[in-house]
Structure 1
């Protein structure tokens, strides 16, 4: 076993956009495995928008704040190197939330065994919570039907880019919002019929009205704020809004006053529902993975991800995530020379 492991810690609370100086890489002593525990050498990590909520001093979401100086939890996949559980043996692949560090250790119940073959990093992206959020929002919340118009905010992000590809697969007309022409061109390649560049001059409301002149039937929201207000303005009668995140407000102490079309919830009879699929319907995870595995195998879904190398890159990856520096899912490869492709 290793005598120590390295882990990223939060050393001060975030105010506004998170910056690299909020974090410190520290050494921690490893403890011997107890009965029923597993130790994993992490190979892939990921960062996500929900991390910003946990950097606050008070509870602002469904998970508690990070403890200052404690190893930061996060999703990771890797190889079991030691086990005192009958459920795992050395060499098994596993996914868990002892991330942001080079080794993860805990009770076997906190680890999910993954298939021995295939790209295990997909379980941090399209085969994991990212894909499940997109899938659940479209099928369970929006009840999407072929021929409808879908608007996706943060469409070049992890959830958004997966939703675009699922939407194309089931026959939706898709309008995506992203920042910059390069992201827009990539979105068109994976299925968006129209793309709004929210960074160019002009109001989002006018841009969406031009991109979807017949209105929108479904909105998959990852941003909130002005995007949500624009979607309300373009919503058709009985539109369904699936709210999976509001990254636009995560760095604010209070939401900005950007909502001008709330009355349309009534006049258009819009259904708006927030959701947490792992908490709401974890029983659907197997069916989702079976379908997503088939889509990946036949090329319908191509997991969109951007890879950074080594544990040391975590703080910059977090900073870049909140300033639009990523396309697709941010992944961190701990051992670029030896990690499985």
Structure 2
């Protein structure tokens, strides 16, 4: 028997713990090629919220149905294997998280990321393979390297800079010689960005209009913007962007848990007048960059040049609270659920 986290009721407005339920069911028998995994660490990601709505954006995965087991990135130990490529006791990453046991078939992925794969032994905590050395790190690395093509001297704004992706993006841009501005949702997080990350400027987006705060932090404008928020943040970035600027958009969390979608940018003609390029992306499109990401980010973490925070919840039954707290900003860095 195995437990899974399911959608109990479709959220209306902000997500609530009561929208989920943990159910128990018999695990399916393994077919040829299948692997049974006992999950150890579950990744709690804001993108799951998108699939809890009645409909999802065109081109995205379909909504979860009521009572349907949810999925998410996870790390676990192989308990049984019908695959020649995986053996009992091996640590693997895969996409069938939000449950304590998973029957996984190689080839499954989420947006091109999360295919069943072995986790190489290292001195790093294994949960980092869900954070700075996993999808969070790859999203940050791909956005900076492949989309923004940051260069020393660039003025870069990173939104949600205290979060799992933003914290890596902000520190990595700074280590590459950029002037980096970070934004976050509390004064404590802003202090963290300045004192611990050493960013050049930071502001609390809740303390006033984002455009005004950004203008104060970057009075001469910005060259690059790493966006995971959208809405008012994206509007402010376009206004502050210098000619030829670039925007990398990996998410729009301002829209995920809102009762009513925030209004979109009304200043898009500046993309034309300033020659701005905006590009959306997902980590799964840049799996080929993962080795380079692990080398660069791993070396910074090992040398103490980069820090990474985690907010850890214990037990599958705490996964709903973990997701709600993450969406409300009551977390720091990567949100994880540890199964014990």
Shift of 1:193: 1.4
Secondary structure of the 2:299 match is helix
Q: Does the Cα contact within 8 Å between 1:122 and 1:303 map onto a contact in 2?
A: no
The partner residue of 1:104 within 94, 102, 105 is: 102
CA distance in 2, matches of 1:246, 1:88: 36
CA distance in 2, matches of 1:49, 1:32: 31
For these two proteins, the number of residue pairs brought into alignment is 330
Q: Determine the structure 2 residue equivalent to 1:86.
A: 84
Shift of 1:58: 2.1
1:286 aligns with 2:291: yes
Shift of 1:296: 2.4
Q: Determine the structure 2 residue equivalent to 1:302.
A: 307
Shift of 1:299: 2.4
Q: Determine the structure 1 residue equivalent to 2:39.
A: 42
Secondary structure of the 1:281 match is helix
Shift of 1:26: 0.5
Greater shift, 310-319 or 285-294, is seen at 285-294
Shift of 1:190: 1.1
RMSD (Å) for aligned C-alpha atoms: 1.6
CA distance in 1, matches of 2:68, 2:266: 42
Structure-to-structure mapping, 1:174-253, within 5 angstroms: 174-188=180-194, 189-200=196-207, 202-252=208-258
Secondary structure of the 1:199 match is helix
Q: Determine the structure 1 residue equivalent to 2:111.
A: none
Q: What's the TM-score once normalised by structure 1's chain length? A: 0.92
CA distance in 1, matches of 2:237, 2:137: 22
Shift of 1:326: 1.2
CA distance in 2, matches of 1:59, 1:194: 35
Shift of 1:260: 4.2
Shift of 1:147: 0.9
Q: 1:171 to 1:24 in 2, by over 3 A?
A: same
Q: Determine the structure 2 residue equivalent to 1:67.
A: 65
CA distance in 1, matches of 2:219, 2:28: 61
Give structure 2 stretches of 5+ with no counterpart.
Answer: 108-114
1:139 aligns with 2:137: no
Superposed CA offset, 1:253-289 (max 9, x none) = 76433534323222221111111131x3322222222
Secondary structure of the 1:185 match is helix
1:18 aligns with 2:24: no
CA distance in 2, matches of 1:35, 1:306: 37
Superposed CA offset, 1:165-209 (max 9, x none) = 111110111111111111111111113211111121x21111110
Q: Does the Cα contact within 8 Å between 2:312 and 2:335 map onto a contact in 1?
A: yes
Shift of 1:252: 4.1
Shift of 1:223: 0.5
1:313 aligns with 2:318: yes
Greater shift, 296-305 or 236-245, is seen at 296-305
Q: Determine the structure 2 residue equivalent to 1:339.
A: none
